[in-house]
Amino acid sequence: MLDIVSRSQRGRICEYSRGGRPLTTPCAAGFDAESPVWIETGVDGRTLHLLDASVPLESGLLTTASSGEQLVSPAIDGIQVVRLPIPEGFVPADDAEVVVVPNAYEIRRDPRRIVDAVTRLREACGFGRLLCMLGIGEPSTVSLLAYMGVDILDCSLPKAAGMMGVRLLPEAEIAADGDVSEANVLSMQEEIAKTRTFISCDRLRELADQRSFSSPSSVAALRIYDDVGYAYAEESCSTVGRRFCCNSTQALRRPDLKRYRERMGSYRKPPCKRVLLLLPCSAKKPYHISKTHKAFSSAVHTGPHDTLVHEVIVTSPLGIVPRELDFMYPANAYDIPVTGEWKCEEKAMIRSMVSALIAQGYDKVICHLGEDRELVEGLADMEFTAVGDPTSPASLSNLDKALRSATSDMEPVDYLVERNELFRSVLEFQFGREAADALMDGNTYAVGKFPYWKLIREEKGKIQLAMTTPERGMASLTLDGACILAGLGMNVVEVMDFEMKGSLFAVGVVDADPGIRIGDEAIAVCGGEVRGVGVAMMCGREMRDLKRGVAVKIRHRSKPGS
């Protein structure tokens, strides 16, 4: 029986039980029977003891990872042993609950093969099985391997290294005097506990970033994982989240940040916006509540011309953040060191994204970035308004004058029109263009003050379709709004026929849109009838794989036949 109690991208804390005994992962196999999972060494090889099951690890031909010979043992008591290399098209046995790789040590210093092996095995296992890789875990790689999706490791490598006088720490591998095997095993267990803590607060990527610097192979593994493993990693990334830090260049390649930049590649500016205003970011998030951006607002919103001005924040690691999206993840959650120094990768990313935005067509571009103007200089004919500190009285006065001058011969746009266009941008970013078209037809309009908007449709009275709040960080659908998206086949979770009285559990899921991500709006449908709408607590494939746990936290529900 498997329950996933916490998630942090592909990392997870699982509670697995059998025979009345529990096992919490991530964990490391020990060497004595007191442990829920341990490895016994005998004349016939090693035996893995996992709760009430015992499985030989070296039965039959002992193939190596580079031999080209492929060996898969049948599942015994729910445990299946698979030696590297992984067979093409490998699928675990139907009764396999745990998949074990006994010779993972052979690829310990080969980052590309590590990424390939973990992602292929995890994909084959799905979300409903535990993945155990032996001989590869050490204090410095626990968080990275857990981040990629490994559930169970062992302490054989730390113990063997310690017997040879090599001290393994989470930060480095150093020489020591005498046998330090016990200290190594203790460091391994402590790092596993720390990894669980980071998973529970959904910040495992930060720990993996920190630990990757312990060795060149770990740095390479994380880089390769972010590159070739992006689609695999992105599937488990939430579309909402807590505050996180980007303290290294590698953090720029986080899958949730890469997904944001990819979505911005199809972003369309609101048609009413004719003047592009480039602004610096702020330490406080979301930007619009910071003192810095409130000062900018005092210069921007001084007359009806403000509906013509498109405020866009220039920042790393996101590139650009249009004002109407600044309450959404990850713009509302990231933190990054501010030193005034920009790395080449950051500059190239920002210039590319700003250039693409400018190409959409503005009558005027105004840059209020101050000393960071170098990031956008030369991309277009633009006016620079900041004098030193962008929030100084002189800078704000310049900004006010520049905006008034730029819009002097332009007809102001009604605030109702602007609000509709901004709400549409939110819907396009969140759901895509087709959904935005369906939700905002000729009878639909937005009301409220940013970021508290409601989407209303005039149809035999006023019907609310959706609303935005900074607490949710995106548009939340009502049942009427959910019916529109369900009609497009989007964000749909097919459920069994029952009256929904609380959250939707995975056991009640028949099928789910594989495009659903944790944090997305998810629509429970039975026989073409919308039964409820709420927040996805699992990605779509996980809802299909698992039989336990909350799949969707339901916000609105309807009764069958209503």
Residue 562's pLDDT is: 56
DSSP 170-239: SS-EEE-SS--HHHHHHHHHHHHHHHHHHHHTT-HHHHHHHHHTT-HHHHHHHHHHHHHTHHHHHTT--S
| Residue 64 clears pLDDT 80, i.e. is over it | no
**What are the φ/ψ torsions at residue 548 (nearest 5 degrees)?**
-135, 155
What does the alpha-carbon distance between residue 267 and residue 432 come to, in Å, rounded to a whole number?
Answer: 9
**Residue 186 pLDDT level (bands cut at 50, 70, 90):** very high
What pLDDT digit, counting tens, does each position of 362-419 carry?
A: 999 999 999 999 999 999 999 999 999 999 999 999 999 999 999 999 999 999 999 9
Residue 70 — very low, low, confident or very high, per pLDDT cuts 50/70/90? Answer: low
Flag whether pLDDT at 65 surpasses 70: no
- The mean per-residue pLDDT over the stretch 420-447 comes to 95
Here the tokens at position 162 are: 């310690």
Residue range 415-428: mean pLDDT, rounded = 96
Distance CA(130)–CA(152), nearest Å, equals 7
DSSP 8-state assignment for residue 30: B
Tokens of 423: 């709400």
pLDDT surpasses 80 at 559: no
Residue-wise pLDDT for 320-375, tens only, equals 999 999 999 999 999 998 877 888 999 999 999 999 999 999 999 999 999 999 99
Query: pTM (2 decimals)?
Result: 0.94
Model confidence band, residue 42 (pLDDT cutoffs 50, 70, 90): confident
CATH number of 258-406: 3.40.50.10630
* Closest among 58, 38, 61 to 48, alpha carbons compared: 38
User: Peptide bond preceding 451: is omega within 30 degrees of 0, i.e. cis?
Assistant: yes
Band of the pLDDT at 62, cuts 50, 70, 90?
low
Q: What local confidence, expressed as pLDDT, does residue 60 receive?
A: 63
- Total residues found in the chain within this entry: 562
* pLDDT at site 74: 87
Torsion of CA 44, 50, 51, 53, to 10 degrees: -50
Cβ burial of 33 (10 Å; 0-12, 13-18, 19+) is exposed
Q: Bridge-partner residues for 54, per DSSP?
A: 49
Name every residue whose Cβ is closer than 8 Å to that of residue 441 and which is 6 or more positions away in sequence: 457
d(CA 448, CA 526): 33
Bridge partners for 279 per DSSP: 313
pLDDT band (50, 70, 90) for residue 460: confident
Does residue 41 carry a pLDDT above 60? yes
pLDDT at residue 99, as a whole number: 97
Q: Give every CB contact of residue 56 below 8 A, 6+ residues apart in sequence.
A: 44, 45, 46, 47, 48, 81
Alpha helices in 465-539 (DSSP H): 479-487
Weakest mean pLDDT among 12-16, 47-51, 56-60: 56-60
- Across the chain, mean pLDDT equals 94
Residue 72 has pLDDT above 90, yes or no: no
What is the residue extent of each domain of the chain? 2-234, 258-406
Q: Say what the pLDDT of residue 33 is.
A: 82
The answer to whether residue 61 scores a pLDDT higher than 60 is no
Point out the least confidently predicted range of 18-22, 64-68, 296-300, 358-362: 64-68
Q: Contact at 8 Å (CB) between 380 and 364?
A: no
* Chain centroid offset of residue 452 CA: 25
* Residues 314, 390: Cα–Cα separation, whole Å: 13
CA 471 to chain CA mean position, Å: 18
Find the mean pLDDT for residues 148-164: 97
* 184/298 Cα distance (integer angstroms): 58
Q: What is the pLDDT of residue 69?
A: 66
